[in-house]
Amino acid sequence: GAKKKAACPGLGLFYTILSAFLFSVASLLLKKIEDVHSVEVSAFRCVFQMAFVLPGLIYYKTGFLGPKGKRIFLFFRGFLGSTAMVLLYYAYQVMPLADATVITFTSPVFTSLLAWIFLKEKYSLWDVLFTLFAVTGVILIARPPFLFGSRVTGIEGSYSDHLKGTIAAIASTLSAASTIVILRKVGKSVHYFLSIWYYAVIGLIGCVIALFVLNEWRLPHCGRDRVFLILIGLLGLGGQIFLTKALQIEKAGPVSIMRTMDVVFAFILQVLFLNHIPTWWTVGGALCVVASSSGTAIRKWRHSVKKAKQREI
């Protein structure tokens, strides 16, 4: 449908930048937390999501299960969405912040690929090119030894952890892309709050089970880490709210392009607070991924504008 006009020009893009900043600060705090498993951090995030969504479900009278024909889609949306969150948090903990952030921005490319496979959406030669750019960017960040030699510089800890983080970030991106495809399939027949509710409930149940299986449940050792956990939940929630508001008053194309500010903030915060200077390989990989995701967003934006003009005619 038609987007509402913004109260002032650029307000939607400002909300997008603010959302990117909040997400980036939450990622930085995750790096600063000591001896808390990524699954436990995800569980705290789910609790905050539930606390926020519950009043909305009651107010809009959506129920807690959703339409019968859509529940299986909502379940997989919740499962894949929460899996993406856990894997991404793990990647943030074991590899440089900027590297993990850049890999997540391959999501639009994989979304186009999955939409072509499962929703029969158009997949052009431009999409193939953008996919190749994204894969090149990931390779530059992962720097496998068989291509770059045995001495890999600019990583945190061992190369084994760096590789695990890369695999986790890619798996997170694929899960997030699958979530978007499911949401497209569901369409507007399910309220947005209900989608988040499934994400939070299934995520919390899965995290609690995983923590007991892994025997990793523990309270942070100091008050600072406990404050960081609360802030991660609040900042993540704030980031989602401002991103949603941006999409309500601005077209999806400019918002998708402006979201690449996540990468810029990740580089800045990594240098300022983690004292980790990114390598030229990482910068090159970031440029490939940003070009790929921006190109995908611009093409979809132009396609939607063209379709809107055709409907007007």
How confident is the model over 163-190, as a mean pLDDT?
Answer: 85
pTM of the shown model: 0.82
User: Which pLDDT score is estimated for 204?
Assistant: 92
Q: Which is more confidently placed, 297 or 251?
A: 297
**Cα–Cα distance, 67 to 113 (Å, whole number):** 28
The helix-helix angle for 107-118 and 280-312 (nearest 10°) equals: 50
Q: Which is more confidently placed, 302 or 137?
A: 137
* C-alpha 187: how far from chain center: 20
Structure tokens that stand for 297 in this block: 């967003």
Give percent above pLDDT 90 in the chain.
10
**Confidence band (pLDDT; 50, 70, 90) for 104?**
confident
HEC profile for the chain? CCCCCCCCCCHHHHHHHHHHHHHHHHHHHHHHCCCCCHHHHHHHHHHHHHHHHHHHHHHHCCCCCCCHHHHHHHHHHHHHHHHHHHHHHHHHHHCCHHHHHHHHCCHHHHHHHHHHHHCCCCCCHHHHHHHHHHHHHHHHHHCCHHHHCCCCCCCCCCHHHHHHHHHHHHHHHHHHHHHHHHHHHHHHHCCHHHHHHHHHHHHHHHHHHHHHHHCCCCCCCCHHHHHHHHHHHHHHHHHHHHHHHHHHHCCHHHHHHHCCHHHHHHHHHHHHHHCCCCCHHHHHHHHHHHHHHHHHHHHHHHHHHHHHHHHHC
* Statement: residue 313 has pLDDT above 70: no
Contacts of 303 (CB under 8 A, 6+ apart): none
**Confidence band (pLDDT; 50, 70, 90) for 192?**
confident
Q: What is the pLDDT of residues 286-297, one digit of tens each?
A: 899 888 888 887
Q: Please name which of 22, 16, 21, 37 lies closest in space to residue 237, comparing C-alpha atoms.
A: 22
What are the backbone dihedrals phi and psi of residue 8, each rounded to the nearest 5 degrees, phi first? -140, 150
User: Which pLDDT score is estimated for 28?
Assistant: 92
Q: Please name which of 32, 38, 76, 29 lies closest in space to residue 210, comparing C-alpha atoms.
A: 38
**Cα–Cα distance, 173 to 153 (Å, whole number):** 24
**Cα–Cα distance, 191 to 224 (Å, whole number):** 37
Q: What is the pLDDT of residues 193-220, one digit of tens each?
A: 788 888 889 999 999 998 888 887 777 7
Mean residue pLDDT across the chain: 82
